[in-house]
Amino acid sequence: MVSLYQLAITVGFLAAYFANYLLSGFSEVRIFDNPSLYKIFNAEVWRAMLGLETLPALIFLLMLFFVPESPRWLIMKNKPSSGKNILFRIYKNEKEVNNQIASIQESTSTETRSEWAWLLKPGIFRAVLIGVAIAMLGQFMGVNAVLYYGPAIFEESGLSKGDSLFYQVMVGIVNMGTTVIALLIIDKVGRKKLVYWGVSGMIISLVLIGFYFISGKTAGISSLLLLVFFLFYIFCCAISICAVIFVLLSEIYPTRIRGLAMSVAGISLWVGTYLIGQLTPWLLENLTPAGTFFLCRIG
């Protein structure tokens, strides 16, 4: 269930890539006479790509009005009738609803309030640091550099803008498809084994990508081979770090401090994502693509 969150993210990425690819093709076959439309859909098509995000954002906003409160939260706040109504909408069975309410009341009656000071206790503090390291280093292995700036990176290899956007769609397909595979095998194979094999594959693919940008063009190697390296990298990443990270973080902390510890790890993950998003253009320009991916290998 935790991994479904990552699957939803990959579906969103793929939808965005596909929409961008379609808009790029549309800008070439439909030329607008209106100056404003020409600027948005032809001269500066990136404006249409960003503007299209308004549609899912509005749908999301409207759906929020139909999302009920958490039954567990309502029962904890001494509103059992409201919680029961929501549970009945889910289970449609009075007996099952009563069982759920009894289970929630039993578990919450034994819970103690989490305190931030608990995170500093020996053993727990170490686990928090491990979670922060996993969250941040997973981002510094470069996956979001590819997911965010893939088209620009592909263009560096000599591909046209249209081809680079199409290849980014392929990246999204592999990312989503591999996440589905990870969901099916994560409990059978195990978390650590997936990470071991996946990260090993990521390191190999990052080295190959770096060497391609150093000597691939001069050696006359097809840019399609670069695409293969990138797809292999995304496959290794999606089946390991991306799919496992939220599951792993949710399982390494004791129940009583899980919420607080997960919030610290979550903040670390998004700080890492932000830094990669901001630094990648600078790294590509100053370290070259080869240097950027060699640096990700170290991460």
| CA 273 to centroid of chain Cα atoms | 9
Q: Which residues have a Cβ under 8 Å from the Cβ of 296 and sit 6 or more positions away?
A: 140, 141, 142, 145, 206
| pLDDT tens-place string over residues 232-287 | 999 999 998 888 887 887 788 777 777 788 888 889 888 988 888 888 888 888 88
DSSP category for residue 121: S
**Which tens digit of pLDDT belongs to each residue from 44-72?**
999 999 999 999 999 999 999 988 888 88
What count of other Cβ atoms lies within 10 Å of the Cβ of residue 125? 13
Query: Regarding the domain delimited by 116-298, which CATH topology (the fold level of the hierarchy) does it fall under?
Result: Growth Hormone; Chain: A; (1.20.1250)
Task: Report domain extents, the chain.
Answer: 116-298
Q: Which two tokens stand for residue 177?
A: 């498809």
Residue 110's pLDDT band, with cuts at 50, 70 and 90, is: low
Instruction: Report pLDDT digits (tens) over 168-226.
Output: 999 999 999 999 999 889 888 888 888 899 989 998 998 888 888 888 777 778 778 88
Query: For the whole model, what pTM was predicted?
Result: 0.81
Question: Cβ distance 99 to 84 under 8 Å?
Answer: no
Residue labelled with tokens 């901001």: 278
Neighbours of 256 (CB within 10 A): 15
pLDDT (0 to 100) of residue 59: 94
Q: What is the pLDDT of residue 47?
A: 93
Alpha-carbon distance 33 to 70, whole Å? Answer: 51
Structure tokens at 7: 């699957």
Backbone angles phi, psi at 114, to 5 degrees: -75, 140
Residues 106 and 256: their CA atoms lie apart, in Å, by 15
Q: pLDDT tens for residues 136-164?
A: 887 888 788 888 888 888 877 776 666 88
Could you tell me if 234 and 100 are in contact, meaning their C-beta atoms sit under 8 angstroms apart?
no
Closest CA to 299 of 254, 237, 249, 238: 237
**Is pLDDT at 112 greater than 60 in this prediction?**
no
